[in-house]
Structure 1
């Protein structure tokens, strides 16, 4: 069985669904709410575990109720959490306000999710993995993790998210085998000449699907028609689906699985997605109709 280590943010999310996003001094009506774990690394880990991938989560949470709930949730999903450092301070909490069209406004405290540092890197855990998946975190920590993986012959994927523009991730990208970016992020990275050394670049087009660029070859998939409820975590689910499928499926099939996972996340309130291969196969059947 493939073993993947996910490293990055581990949060507690409070999601409020509203009839509209209010303007300044405005008011909105809450139509739904949900609380669950969040953060890009733990979101990806949850989906990978649901798709039968042996998964370890690296990150940090506070010594508080939210940290306890996150760890208990991961344990229930079968995600190894022994490497999640219980740091001083509070677990990072994100408050997500989602309108009827799935658009999101995020509020958050600094919390403990970047307390995991270079000094905490467990070299043995990285060397024992088949793959390392990095998400947004301190650049120095991401680089140390990537270097440890490369030295051990472990492949590396990276989903830096929206902060790629203001964090010094260039050395991490240069060590990455598979990079996940959206259209804006792809243009930014390409303009800096960083894509030349990346073997696989996966570009997410939102509702318009995605494409995989491998050298001179591009494979595209148009995605799945769903009414979005909340797009939070859809990119994390997408990346996890691609990583879970690419070991024994073609690039085109892995991309379809990724889009299926992203679509399933987009129609679910909250960033955390609980699914199985049965859920994915049901969504993939839409392609065959």
Structure 2
């Protein structure tokens, strides 16, 4: 099988992550209280966003990938492009003379979920028409991440997002889409995301959101119930596979995508696919992918330093598996195992292992976590 090419496009930023060295075992809201001084360690300055996290994970795993994003000609942009260049990964960046590079301050205490202070920067002016369409047409797969953080792609009920996916799909590429958490008080938070997804998903083959994102966008009442029951803790603690995850995945699939892979944080991942005929149209190498309903429990990490990028790198492993014609079960195993490796370091990429090493750990009985309610 020849090596397939993938474009990873969309949101990119510079991540600034302070090290929380004495916070293990404490509740998030006990660590960050108004008026409290919190001593932290050195800050990790790293590449962030879907383009960096998913794209560079694909590169490290040996995939032929090109990164497409937009940065400013400022200090953050210089640092970001230099860091990507040093990896040897091919990039096709748009440089803005007027907009600042996006950055994110990642607040990630050990053993707790993350919070983000985010400036979208020139992601808000990035458009489909700025992208290298000739390079896209030469690829086999196209992945786009974080439209909720990119104004041009969510305004007008996702008109540009739909046009992009429709045209790329017409050029014969297999497509995938990742979302991002939404600030309810922002313009993106007031967007009708169910309407956006209904118009976009018919042109998406692999839809790979988190359960939180999917709940917020497709079932706000259910999402609010999760938040109330979790009481400020991670919502995974109150989720049921049968009552929560499966129904909302089915709803997303009904909008017309070929497969939904729902990232369920530390609990694992759920995959739901359409029929075999539809899956083989996506890629002839996808044998045995029809009508799949699989939940893969997560693997127990050796340690947890930061959850930043775990979902994005899991997507990378999943897409690599798909491109190489792996089975649905193995694809989910590699995805969850990659997420477990990602959280062992403060940055997104350095902890990742190749598929051969992951397979050895899995086959030797890597311990899995059982975190969902019945």
TM-score after normalising by structure 1? 0.90
Of 172, 193, 204, 2:200 maps to 172
Of 44, 48, 65, 1:55 maps to 65
Measured against aligned partners, the alpha-carbon deviations of 1:103-152 in whole angstroms (never above 9, x if no partner) come to: 32211223222322133133212211101101113234433321221110
- CA 1:43/1:166 → structure 2, altered by over 3 Å: closer, same or farther? farther
**In structure 2, distance between residues paired with 1:195 and 1:268:** 34
Alignment of 1:218-233 (within 5 A): 218-226=293-301, 227-233=303-309
Of 132, 141, 145, 2:142 maps to 132
Q: Which has the higher helix share?
A: 2
Alignment of 1:112-191 (within 5 A): 112-137=122-147, 138-139=153-154, 140-163=159-182, 166-167=190-191, 168=193, 169-170=196-197, 171-187=199-215, 188-189=217-218, 190=248
CA contact (8 A) 1:63 1:86 kept: yes
After TM superposition, give the deviation of residue 259 of structure 1 in Å.
Answer: 0.9
**In structure 2, distance between residues paired with 1:16 and 1:241:** 27
Residue 77 of structure 2 is aligned to residue 67 of structure 1: yes
Residue of structure 1 equivalent to 2:253: 195
Q: Which has the higher strand share?
A: 1
Measured against aligned partners, the alpha-carbon deviations of 1:22-79 in whole angstroms (never above 9, x if no partner) come to: 2111121103421111111221110011111111112110101221222222223232
After TM superposition, give the deviation of residue 186 of structure 1 in Å.
Answer: 3.8
Residue of structure 2 equivalent to 1:10: 12
Residue of structure 1 equivalent to 2:266: 207
Residue of structure 2 equivalent to 1:234: 310
For structure 2, the 5+ residue unaligned runs are 24-30, 148-152, 183-187, 219-247, 275-290, 365-374
Residue 345 of structure 2 is aligned to residue 268 of structure 1: yes
CA contact (8 A) 1:127 1:152 kept: yes
CA contact (8 A) 1:146 1:175 kept: yes
Q: Which range is displaced more, 105-114 or 184-193?
A: 184-193
Of 202, 217, 238, 2:292 maps to 217
CA contact (8 A) 1:174 1:194 kept: no
- CA 1:277/1:104 → structure 2, altered by over 3 Å: closer, same or farther? closer
Q: Which range is displaced more, 139-148 or 222-231?
A: 139-148
**In structure 2, distance between residues paired with 1:115 and 1:158:** 19
TM-score after normalising by structure 2? 0.71
Aligned-partner SS, 2:68? strand
RMSD, matched Cα: 2.2
- CA 1:61/1:120 → structure 2, altered by over 3 Å: closer, same or farther? same
Of 360, 368, 374, 1:285 maps to 360
Of 69, 91, 95, 1:86 maps to 95
**In structure 1, distance between residues paired with 2:265 and 2:351:** 20
Aligned-partner SS, 1:158? strand
Q: Which range is displaced more, 142-151 or 173-182?
A: 142-151
Residue 177 of structure 2 is aligned to residue 100 of structure 1: no
- CA 1:250/1:157 → structure 2, altered by over 3 Å: closer, same or farther? same
After TM superposition, give the deviation of residue 198 of structure 1 in Å.
Answer: 1.6
Aligned-partner SS, 2:36? coil
- CA 1:145/1:80 → structure 2, altered by over 3 Å: closer, same or farther? farther
Residue of structure 1 equivalent to 2:87: 77
Measured against aligned partners, the alpha-carbon deviations of 1:66-96 in whole angstroms (never above 9, x if no partner) come to: 21222222223232222x1111222111111
**In structure 2, distance between residues paired with 1:150 and 1:120:** 18
Aligned-partner SS, 1:29? coil
Residue 53 of structure 2 is aligned to residue 43 of structure 1: yes
Equivalent residue pairs, number: 286
After TM superposition, give the deviation of residue 211 of structure 1 in Å.
Answer: 2.0
